[in-house]
Amino acid sequence: MSTITESVDVAVPVTTVYNQWTQFESFPKFMDGVEEVRQLDATHTHWVTKVGGATREFDATITEQHPDERVAWKSDSGPNHAGVVTFHKLDDTHTRVTAQMDIDPEGFAEKIGDKLGVIEGKVKGDMKRFKEFIESRGSETGAWRGDVPR
């Protein structure tokens, strides 16, 4: 299992950044290889990804969520992974977003890609594209302010 940690500072207030992150269905706009995310209910999502020509579908559960602080999840099916994204107010107009993920690559190609830093590079790119996405908009596409206790 690999652990990947990546942070990005965003020139947007923490509430706006958090609100956008809770709009899981917008992830394909900035996450490479994510074709679709469907929010099934308050704590369950269904993902469709396409990487290297291979399409995968899996479900994930939000295990913890606190407005303006954190969103944590774990996969229920498909590739074994879990993670947490935290939001840190730097000042009234800047936020640090940190993603920490534990990923257990499946199959020979994914394991080689992991060893070569491909997965880490994808996460870094996704965080950079999220920064560009939210900064260019200046506002969130929606919000879910519910709390999911651990």
What is the tens place of the pLDDT at every residue in 38-59?
999 999 999 998 877 778 899 9
Model-level pTM? Answer: 0.89
**CA distances from residue 104 to 96, 107, 139 in whole angstroms, order as listed:** 26, 10, 34
Highest mean pLDDT pick, 31-35, 105-109, 114-118, 131-135: 131-135
CB atoms under 10 Å from CB of 126, counted, come to 19
pLDDT at 112: 58
Q: What percent of the chain has pLDDT over 70?
A: 90
Bridging pattern class, strands 2-10 and 80-91: unpaired
Sequence letter at residue 102: D
pLDDT band at 145 (very low <50, low <70, confident <90, very high): confident
For the chain, counts of helices (H) and of strands (E): 3, 7
Task: Note the CATH number of domain 2-137.
Answer: 3.30.530.20
- Domain boundaries along the sequence of the chain: 2-137
52 contacts 109 by C-beta, under 8 angstroms: yes
